[in-house]
Amino acid sequence: MSAENAAETAIPAGTWSIDPPHSFIEFAIKHVGIATVKGYAIGIQGTIEGGVEPAVRGIVDATTLTTHDETRDAHLRSPEFFDVERFPQLSFESTDIEERDGALVVHGTLTIKGVSQPVELRGRYTGSNVDPWGNDRIGLEFQGTVDRTAFGLNWNAPLPGGGFLLPNDVALSAGFSAIKEA
pLDDT at res. 10: 83
**For the chain, what is the domain count?**
1
Nearest to 131 by CA among 6, 10, 5, 21: 21
pTM greater than 0.95: no
Average pLDDT over residues 143-152: 98
By C-alpha distance, which of 115, 46, 42, 57 is closest to 83? 115
Q: What is the dihedral of CA 121, 127, 129, 131, to 10 degrees?
A: -40
pLDDT greater than 80 at residue 6? no
Q: What's the confidence (pLDDT) of residue 9?
A: 60
- Cα separations (Å) of 34 from 52, 73, 143, 164, 167? 44, 20, 21, 12, 11
Q: Is the pLDDT of residue 120 over 70?
A: yes
Q: What is the pLDDT of residue 119?
A: 98
Dihedral sign for Cα 53, 137, 57, 28, please. negative
**Which range marks the domain in which residue 87 is found?**
3-180
CA gap 124, 45 in Å, rounded? 19
User: Looking at residues 110-118, what average pLDDT do you find?
Assistant: 98
Q: Is the pLDDT of residue 3 over 70?
A: no
Q: For the purposes of burial, counting CB atoms within 10 Å of the CB of 40, is it exposed (0-12), middle (13-18) or buried (19 or more)?
A: middle
Q: What is the pLDDT of residue 47?
A: 98
User: How far apart are the C-alpha atoms of 50 and 118, rounded to whole Å?
Assistant: 21
109 pLDDT higher than 50: yes
Q: Give the mean pLDDT of 6-11.
A: 62
| CATH code (residue 95) | 2.40.128.110
